[in-house]
Structure 1
């Protein structure tokens, strides 16, 4: 069941039920709010009900449906999920390649096997390299019959305007606190109310972010980052502690997750601030985004990057 996105579920379910289904859908909104989960649920519903009709509300599918089991096993012949691939040396590729898009041609060249429908999920379309985006555009311009594209995007403004124009758009907002609390408390029922409330507060309406914060123990680091923005860090103690915590090889996953969260923390502070503080926060947001973008490409030392980000955070608290 998709929680907190009732309007989007209703729109898609109505389009599917009436078979007035646009061939391509652009699912937009902040990272981690449930866009990919929605895409997979929609794909299950289309392929399962297309194979053997059933009656359930929204876009739900019986978990024991044979098609659902095929999808869970990654062996449905009429479904493709395109995402960044694992590199032989470890980690994920920087982009979704044009070869991945062109590989769809084999599936699209033959008749669907298990129902009249095919579904392709791209998570995320933001990761398409330029040539892959152009190859996808050609498919969207002349879509094969009964083929549905579901494109997940965290930053739709960066996509080709021609791709956006060929998609029906569904915007996903951050989830309200009551829905977040219900989701988070279901993961680990033994967690205290205080821990759940802290996760909900830091996650800002994103279940994906809440899971990442919980699994990688990022709450303390986020608290330090917020403290630096609000109170400064004149003796460098907080930024040094963060750099020491995230600088080692064993902390690579925590480091990667944390630096992607920092611009969002600054943006949240800017929204809540006024006057000169807001101006400093907006400047810091731009600097943080630039540093976070170049750090992986230039293989910057994690300790150095975190210390630099600490300085950016501290600039929000500086008084003229």
Structure 2
């Protein structure tokens, strides 16, 4: 590849973006869809670097340094802060995009746009239909089905997938040669195909230890017959969003592993996976975590 993307996997997808640059066929709006921590935001930000930097992402110029710090005047970043994207924010964004700018492009990076309320989405729609010159939108989403159809029809959708475990092992081995092979293999297993999780685990031994304990606990948890025991187990997690996300990820991995190995379970595995996915969806749409988790416990 011509550029340095700092991404694990997704070679075909990234090559497609490079081809867009080379051919001059850059879309005015992209939507990167896929699971959490697989590289969507990293690719979006790297794409912005490449487009804005005069040296195609040199890492050292003022433009690159500003984008890295989310301080570039013509590269506007909306990180997911756990709150909805409201119409006033979109109106302010549109006003900003209509101002003149010295940069090559005006780029908007918006993380997890399923957070956008309908009024904000409708407000954005006209700008997507008739974007200001040299304006590029780079959106990400965890839930493609939750995006307004009218917005979907005006963006180029690129789907991200989990990274194969062997690719993750190879990448971590190259990046962390001082880490022993057994640790890297275990971290790659716990990361569940998410490079962002792998980096968190390898850089935080305590987090890795907590993950190992959680994995063991959840193996036993699935065999609990008592609803009371299940509710008791999740009670301490209901106010910890990170732990809830970890629980759902690890449950998904355990269920998939059992399905592949043919291990018996009281409910169809596909049904259980659908329930876990739906719980993730509810939590991302601000449903009460306690109610969402209790509903899951009753149905898996």
Band the TM-score falls in, shorter-chain normalisation: 0.7 to 0.9
User: Per-residue CA shift, 1:262-306, capped at 9, x if unaligned?
Assistant: 56336625753669859522333344455563696336399xx47
* Residue 8 (1) aligns with residue 13 (2): yes
State the alpha-carbon separation in 2 of the partners of residues 13 and 165 from structure 1.
Answer: 23
Question: Structure 2: 5+ residue runs without aligned partners?
Answer: 1-5
Pairwise CA distance, 1:209? 3.0
* Residue 264 (1) aligns with residue 252 (2): yes
Q: TM-score normalized by structure 2? A: 0.80
> Residue 71 of structure 2 corresponds to which residue in structure 1?
75
User: Per-residue CA shift, 1:140-197, capped at 9, x if unaligned?
Assistant: 1111111111111222122112211111122222222233124444675544322221
Please, which of 14, 34, 39 is the counterpart of residue 34 of structure 1? 39
Is the contact made by 2:75 and 2:106 (CA closer than 8 Å) also made in structure 1?
A: yes
> Residue 287 of structure 2 corresponds to which residue in structure 1?
297
State the alpha-carbon separation in 2 of the partners of residues 238 and 198 from structure 1.
Answer: 28
State the alpha-carbon separation in 2 of the partners of residues 150 and 290 from structure 1.
Answer: 26
Is the contact made by 1:82 and 1:100 (CA closer than 8 Å) also made in structure 2?
A: no
1:1-320 alignment, distance < 5 Å: 1-48=6-53, 52=54, 54=55, 61-85=57-81, 92-93=82-83, 95-113=84-102, 115-185=103-173, 189-212=177-200, 215=204, 216=207, 217-229=210-222, 232-234=223-225, 239=230, 242-243=233-234, 246=237, 252-261=240-249, 264-265=252-253, 268-269=256-257, 272=260, 277=265, 280-289=268-277, 293=282, 297-298=287-288, 300=290, 305=293, 312=299, 315=300
Q: Would the alpha carbon gap of residues 290 and 73 (structure 1) be closer, same or farther in structure 2, given more than 3 Å must change?
A: closer
Q: Would the alpha carbon gap of residues 5 and 287 (structure 1) be closer, same or farther in structure 2, given more than 3 Å must change?
A: closer
State the alpha-carbon separation in 1 of the partners of residues 151 and 127 from structure 2.
Answer: 10
Q: TM-score normalized by structure 1? A: 0.76
User: Per-residue CA shift, 1:112-143, capped at 9, x if unaligned?
Assistant: 22x23111111012221222222222211111
Pairwise CA distance, 1:108? 1.0
Cα RMSD (Å) of the superposition? Answer: 3.4
Q: Would the alpha carbon gap of residues 16 and 261 (structure 1) be closer, same or farther in structure 2, given more than 3 Å must change?
A: same
**Tell me, what secondary structure is at the counterpart of 2:268?**
helix
Aligned residues: 288
User: Per-residue CA shift, 1:35-81, capped at 9, x if unaligned?
Assistant: 11000000011111xxx3x3x6xxxx111122101112322110111
Is the contact made by 1:24 and 1:148 (CA closer than 8 Å) also made in structure 2?
A: yes
Q: Would the alpha carbon gap of residues 73 and 23 (structure 1) be closer, same or farther in structure 2, given more than 3 Å must change?
A: same
State the alpha-carbon separation in 1 of the partners of residues 20 and 113 from structure 2.
Answer: 22
Question: Structure 1: 5+ residue runs without aligned partners?
Answer: 86-91, 316-320
**Which is further off, 66-75 or 277-286?**
277-286
**Which is further off, 269-278 or 19-28?**
269-278
